[in-house]
Amino acid sequence: MSYSIALAGKGGTGKTTLAGMLIKYLKARGKTPVLAVDADANANLNEVLGLTVNETLGDAREDMKKGKVPDGMTKDVFISMRMEEAIAEAEGYDLLVMGQPEGSGCYCAANSLLSGFLEKLTDNYPYIVMDNEAGMEHISRLTTKNVDLLLIVADTSRRGLQAGIRIDKLAKDLNIGVKKSVLVINQAKNGVSEAAARIIEEAGITLAGTVPEDESIYEYDLQGRPTVEIPEETGAMKAAFEIFDRIIG
């Protein structure tokens, strides 16, 4: 059985950067191969990882919906072929980008085929990391419905914390089988304030830890360098690894 980890959080919290850190952690700890799934419509996990993506599952779904399946090829063979083309391979992990959400019209047939092939694909990986939008619809629709660990990423602002709490509630309301959910405070300048700690405690959500603000992340991003290459000894990466050791081990 695969161990699936999903990340969610509002924009600007550094969720995708943390997803990259998690993939780096799993690779460093020998927990491979990993299937990384970028389910954010604003897909950029590949940039964090330093991978080039030419094909997405959204592209395949659109082409099937528009009847672009080659003559003599069945739809399931077409989707299977396009899915293989959409997998970007790297040492220790593969990346699959979901792509843009559906447009107008019915995508039922394409989604059904994609769901079936995704279920078969995930069986080949002991660990799955899913980078999601704030909403959890991608998990309930096209990726595995059973999430072993949900990492909710928030910053130290009141609105950031409340958004994280809403995500936790949404995940429970969608009944997508989240076994455990924890909160990670990212980009923390001075730890967690008493007011923030009170909000977290009142919400009844587990705080897994904090990742400090780290200038090296901004420098790597500005230079167009994959942030996953940041050394493990730097402040943010070290803190993230310590959190992952505690909750994944």
Q: Mean pLDDT, 10 residues at a time, over the chain (249 residues)?
A: 89 92 98 91 88 87 86 88 90 88 58 71 90 65 69 91 89 81 93 90 94 94 93 95 95
- The pLDDT score that the predictor gives to residue 133 is 76
What is the pTM assigned to this prediction?
Answer: 0.90
Asked whether the CA dihedral 230, 24, 47, 11 is positive or negative, the reply is: negative
Tell me the three state secondary structure of residue 122.
helix
CA nearest 149: which of 177, 115, 122? Answer: 177
The pairing of strands 93-97 and 206-212 is: unpaired
Type of residue at 8: A
- The pLDDT score that the predictor gives to residue 186 is 95
CB 154 within 8 A of CB 167: no
- Which run of H or E residues covers position 82? helix 75-86
Q: Is the peptide bond before 226 cis (omega within 30 degrees of 0)?
A: no
- The pLDDT score that the predictor gives to residue 202 is 93
- The pLDDT score that the predictor gives to residue 102 is 62
- The pLDDT score that the predictor gives to residue 144 is 45
234 token code pair: 């730097």
- The pLDDT score that the predictor gives to residue 192 is 87
Q: Which residues contact 9 (CB under 8 A, 6 or more apart)?
A: 15, 134, 152, 153, 154, 163, 164, 167, 186
Q: Which residues contact 57 (CB under 8 A, 6 or more apart)?
A: 82, 83, 86, 96, 97, 98, 99, 114, 142
CA nearest 165: which of 203, 193, 196? Answer: 203
- The pLDDT score that the predictor gives to residue 142 is 43
94 token code pair: 């593969």
The rounded radius of gyration (Å) of the Cα atoms in the chain is 18
- The pLDDT score that the predictor gives to residue 227 is 93
How many Cα atoms within 13 Å fall on the side-chain side of residue 9?
30
The pairing of strands 93-97 and 87-90 is: antiparallel
> Could you tell me the CA-to-CA distances from 134 to 167, 214, 245 in Å, in that order?
7, 23, 25
Burial of 171-186, coded b for 16+ CB within 10 Å and e otherwise, reads beebebebeebbbbbb
Architecture label for domain 3-247: 3-Layer(aba) Sandwich (3.40)
- The pLDDT score that the predictor gives to residue 119 is 78
Q: Which residues contact 241 (CB under 8 A, 6 or more apart)?
A: 21, 25, 28, 232
